[in-house]
């Protein structure tokens, strides 16, 4: 099932504290941005990549795309103030509103093609689907430094990207959010407000978002593990 993917890459990487967009940091000599793009470049089902970038990164990103032979880029769009704005700008470049569109953080380089395919299949049936993993920690609600409640863990999921939707559904969700000045931390939260059902595809714990400096140690370990096991 073919799909297009919007990749928001227009952040500043403030929590990484690298003094530049964290996506330019390298893992085994290759920029994080390229690790992520290579997954979609290699997936025959992916018909096009829409990349949202910060204009100040444009020259550097363009030369990396050339250097690493990334050919599937169908649009380069300007990112916005919030991640949601960057995704919206990407959505404006989607070819067909009948098709499936994925949104995937550039900062998650370890997504597996198998998970992407499971997600796309679910989204094509139901209109909306997200990748998530069961929460491992015990989660408590608190107020004023005191425990208010222990939340039943079996119903909790830690949500990742990619998230996949029929493009028309995602556009409707964004338009409603814009009208109502709602800002969410993921696409699903916008789609849920339509309301439109969103199903969950279980992914894996490797699909981390590289956010703070210690995540780079985990990333090196994941790459090493994959090299050793050959998958
Ligand atoms: N992103 C984006 N546009 C924004 C903010 C974020 O395209 N205005 C992208 C980032 O480049 C990243 C993804 O959204 O690939 C997830 O965001 P996050 O991990 O928060 O990255 P940053 O915003 O760059 O980091 P920070 O919040 O620490 O500044
Ligand atoms: Mg951010």
State the average pLDDT for the chain. Answer: 97
Q: Which positions ≥6 away from 51 have C-beta within 8 Å?
A: 7, 9, 37, 61, 73, 75, 76, 77, 90, 106
- Interval 50-65 mean pLDDT: 98
Closest ligand 1 atom to residue 16 Cα is 28
Pocket test for ligand 1, best of 83, 185, 214 (most atoms within 8 A of CB): 83
- Interval 82-89 mean pLDDT: 98
C-beta separation of 204 from 181 below 8 A: no
pLDDT value of residue 34: 98
pLDDT tens sequence across 149-177: 999 999 999 999 999 999 999 999 999 99
CA of 11 to the centre of ligand 1 (A): 4
pLDDT value of residue 231: 75
pLDDT tens sequence across 130-142: 999 999 999 999 9
Q: Regarding the domain with residue range 3-229, which homologous superfamily does it belong to in the CATH classification? A: Spore Coat Polysaccharide Biosynthesis Protein SpsA; Chain A (3.90.550.10)
Token reading at 155 = 């119903």
**% the chain with pLDDT above 70:** 100
Ligand 1 site, residue 9, Cβ cutoff 6 A: yes
- Interval 187-216 mean pLDDT: 98
Task: Please state, in angstroms and rounded to a whole number, the distance separating the CA atoms of residues 115 and 93.
Answer: 24
pLDDT value of residue 38: 98
pLDDT tens sequence across 98-121: 999 999 999 999 999 999 999 999
pLDDT tens sequence across 60-82: 999 999 999 999 999 999 999 99
C-beta separation of 68 from 25 below 8 A: no
């Amino acid at each position: 099932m073919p799909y297009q993917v919007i990749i928001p890459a227009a952040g500043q990487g403030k929590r990484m504290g690298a003094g530049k967009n964290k996506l330019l940091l390298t893992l085994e000599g290759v920029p994080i941005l390229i690790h992520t793009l290579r997954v979609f470049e290699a997936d025959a089902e992916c018909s096009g990549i829409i990349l949202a970038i910060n204009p100040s990164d444009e020259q550097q990103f363009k030369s990396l795309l050339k250097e690493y032979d990334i050919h599937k880029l169908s649009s380069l769009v300007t990112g916005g103030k919030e991640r949601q704005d960057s995704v919206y700008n990407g959505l404006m470049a989607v070819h067909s509103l009948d098709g499936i569109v994925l949104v995937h953080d550039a900062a998650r380089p370890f997504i597996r093609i198998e998970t992407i395919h499971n997600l796309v299949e679910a989204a094509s049936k139901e209109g909306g689907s997200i990748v998530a993993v069961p929460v491992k920690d015990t989660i408590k609600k608190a107020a004023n430094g005191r425990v208010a409640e222990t939340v039943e863990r079996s119903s909790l999921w830690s949500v990742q990207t990619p998230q996949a939707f029929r493009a028309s559904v995602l556009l409707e969700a964004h338009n409603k959010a814009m009208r109502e000045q709602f800002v969410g931390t993921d696409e699903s939260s916008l789609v849920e407000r339509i309301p439109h059902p969103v199903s969950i595809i279980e992914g894996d714990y490797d699909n981390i978002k590289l956010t703070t400096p210690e995540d780079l140690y985990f990333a090196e370990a994941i790459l090493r593990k994959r090299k050793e096991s050959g998958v």
